[in-house]
């Protein structure tokens, strides 16, 4: 297993020649109940927990290198044991399905609230 410091110290690797790469998908977010005044963007209510995340959908193609596997990580950066299907150097990130990338099915997420 590669230690974190080995990846961070390698300043010469590019996406074309690195052994591995990390893709971070970021969505818009906001607290439940967050409200702002649209005219001057003044915050009226900062809201409260839970944080609501906008689902992300993207198809990613990397033509400079073969992609052998795409592992889904949890929020702590650990592998979940799930992978995304790769076809012709392309894979799709979809946080809108019944089992989004978070690894927690929608029904269970509702129960966590």
3-class DSSP string for the chain: CCCHHHHHHCCCCCCCCCCCCCCCCCCCEEEECCEEECCCCEEEECCEEEEEECCCEEEEECCCCCCCCEEEECCCCCEEEEEECCECCEEEEECCCCCCCCCCCHHHHHHHC
CB 95 within 8 A of CB 57: yes
Residue 88 confidence (pLDDT) above 70: yes
Average pLDDT, the chain: 77
Tokens (6 digits) for 82:
């799930």
∠ at Cα 19 (17, 21), nearest 5°? 90
Distance CA 57, CA 74 (A): 17
| pTM for this model (two decimals) | 0.58
pLDDT at 95: 80
Give the tens place of pLDDT for each residue, 15-54: 778 888 888 887 888 889 999 888 998 999 999 988 888 8
pLDDT band at 10 (very low <50, low <70, confident <90, very high): low
**Hunting for tokens 């390698």 — which residue is that?**
10
């Amino acid at each position: 297993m590669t230690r974190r410091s080995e990846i961070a110290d390698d300043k010469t690797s590019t996406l074309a020649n690195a052994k591995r790469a990390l893709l971070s998908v970021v969505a818009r977010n906001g607290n439940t109940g967050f409200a702002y005044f649209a005219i001057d963007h003044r915050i009226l209510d900062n809201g409260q927990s839970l944080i609501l995340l906008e689902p992300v959908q993207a198809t990613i193609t990397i033509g400079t290198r073969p992609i052998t596997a795409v592992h889904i990580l949890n929020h702590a950066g650990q592998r979940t044991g799930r992978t995304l299907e790769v076809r012709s150097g392309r894979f799709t990130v979809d946080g809108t399905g019944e089992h989004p990338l978070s690894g927690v099915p929608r029904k269970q997420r509702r129960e966590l609230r």
